[in-house]
Amino acid sequence: MISAIENFLFETLGRELCVFFCSMIPIIELRGAIPLGTGFGLDPVFTYFISVVGNILPVPFILLLIRWVLDVMKKIKGLKKIALWVEEKAEKHKGQIEKYGYLGLFLFVAVPLPGTGAWTGSLIAALMKMKFWKSFLFIVLGVLTAGLIMTFGSVAIKAVIGLF
């Protein structure tokens, strides 16, 4: 089953677009896309580039629209719980950003740990009503940094595995 899905995706999209779209998915983002591209045997620089672009693409939309989307969701019976869960998730992580401001936002996005990244950072910045362009800049810098960390780590792990 998994190999059938894999074959379909590769034949339909190609490995490069799989990496690109994977980097756009919340939670996975480039933290999953870069190791995926490395595992596919794609050039690390190219993998970094398409993962960064894919990860940054949703950021302006999140910064501009997420508050409105959550407000609409709260008015729809089946979606209210999801909207409240998303806000609760953002609330848990906003302490670091409140304490350090835009530098905290950069660090939150740059450190490739589970639950951090461009999606959550954008969500928190939007809910905290941080300035759009400044937030966007620090999120982009965080994505670039996280991408470098993941690229070097993925290449190093692949090289170590290749020794055996």
pLDDT computed for residue 132 by the predictor: 98
The torsion angle over the Cα atoms of residues 17, 144, 48 and 26, rounded to 10 degrees, is -40
* Tens of each residue's pLDDT in the chain, 164 residues: 667 766 766 677 788 998 999 999 998 999 999 999 999 999 999 999 999 999 999 999 999 999 999 999 999 999 999 999 999 988 988 888 989 999 999 999 999 988 899 999 999 999 999 999 999 999 999 999 999 999 999 999 998 987 88
98-142 residue pLDDT tens: 899 999 999 999 999 888 999 999 999 999 999 999 999 999 999
Task: Check residue 147 and give its pLDDT.
Answer: 98
Domain count for the chain: 1
The domain in which residue 82 lies consists of: 2-162
- Classify the C-alpha dihedral 62-56-141-41 as positive or negative: positive
The pLDDT of residue 161: 86
Using the structure block, give the residue that is written with the tokens 């090289």.
Answer: 159
- Euclidean distance between CA atoms 22 and 96, whole angstroms: 27
- Contact call for residues 50 and 32 (beta carbons, < 8 A): no
**Distance (Å, whole) CA 48 – CA 152:** 10
- The mean pLDDT value of the chain amounts to 92
Please state, in angstroms and rounded to a whole number, the distance separating the CA atoms of residues 43 and 110: 22
Cα separation of the two ends of the chain = 29
DSSP letter (8 states) at residue 27? T
pTM: 0.89
What pLDDT is stored for residue 164 in this prediction?
80
